Amino acid sequence: MMGFILIAAAVLSLLSGGQSAPVTNCDDLTQIIEIQGREQLLGKWTSLAESTNVSGSGLLSTLHVGSSWVKHTAANESNTIDVFEAINIFGRCYTSRSTKTLKNNTLSVEQPMAASEVLLKTGCPDCLVISSKYTSGQSLQFLSRRNKVTAAEMEEFTKQVKCLNLPSPVIFDSDKGFCPEESTKNTTDVNTATDEDYFKLAGDILGSEDVVKGVLESIFSSLADLIEDD
């Protein structure tokens, strides 16, 4: 999902955080681990949760993403990874392509926003916790080979988010189904995308009747919860 959050942030930057209390043992929870090689990262991963304070990131959080997955494949260059992401927003699939370069235990991303990524220690045996830093903020992603993880594994990630003083994570709902691997229609290549492409994608997402309906339902549901709390 991070690629789409960055696209949203890029759109908002053309047009123009909540904080959490720290938790104990943060030195251990935010320990950077060594990337053994790109083979460690290859294959298909399910996006389980994500937190970011990047400007404009609230847009996709509001859309209540149902599910998201990412596939890493080896590029021709020995230290480069091709990234394909698929995200389900109110039953509609959106996809993007990008690349990452591995050097000195750090993954570098150039588009749509320059970023450096490292892996953090996790007790989950088949998971990746990716910490990304941008000029406008940072994010933390939780990926797994499985579609669901245990409550303890998710709790550990939530603690890592708190240690980094990031907003509460968005938890993806795998029960709503995933975009098929062949869902490549209207894929956005962030390596070559122009400002016009970003606006078109944002317009497509926000102009969808299903998305608008879903957003309105989410707003009304939130208002109803507030009224009940009062």
CA–CA separation, 20 and 224 (whole Å): 25
| Tokens describing residue 182 | 């062949």
Q: For residue 169, what pLDDT band results from cuts at 50, 70 and 90? A: very high
Q: What is the number of alpha carbons within 13 Å of residue 121 lying toward its C-beta?
A: 9
Is the confidence at residue 14, as pLDDT, over 50? no
Is the confidence at residue 76, as pLDDT, over 60? yes
The residue among 151 and 199 whose pLDDT is bigger is 151
pLDDT at 15: 41
Q: For residue 27, what pLDDT band results from cuts at 50, 70 and 90? A: very high
pLDDT at 128: 98
pLDDT at 193: 45
The residue among 151 and 224 whose pLDDT is bigger is 151
Q: For residue 181, what pLDDT band results from cuts at 50, 70 and 90? A: confident
**Closest Cα partner for 58 from 139, 162, 115, 114?**
139
pLDDT at 196: 52
**Closest Cα partner for 172 from 29, 61, 96, 19?**
61
Strands 106-109, 115-120: pairing is antiparallel
Residues 134-145: tens digit of each pLDDT: 988 999 999 999
Mean pLDDT of 179-204: 55
Strands 43-52, 137-144: pairing is antiparallel
The residue among 77 and 18 whose pLDDT is bigger is 77
pTM: 0.72
pLDDT at 34: 96
Is the confidence at residue 75, as pLDDT, over 50? yes
Is the confidence at residue 204, as pLDDT, over 60? no
- Residues 28, 131, 10: CA angle, nearest 5 degrees: 155
CA–CA separation, 71 and 97 (whole Å): 10
| Tokens describing residue 143 | 């990926």
Is the confidence at residue 3, as pLDDT, over 70? no
Is the confidence at residue 195, as pLDDT, over 80? no
Answer CATH for 2-16+19-214 from 2.40.128.20, 3.65.10.10, 3.40.50.10490, 2.60.120.200 = 2.40.128.20
Q: Which residue ranges make up each domain of the chain?
A: 2-16+19-214
CA–CA separation, 200 and 206 (whole Å): 10
pLDDT at 223: 43
92 near 185, Cβ under 8 Å?
no
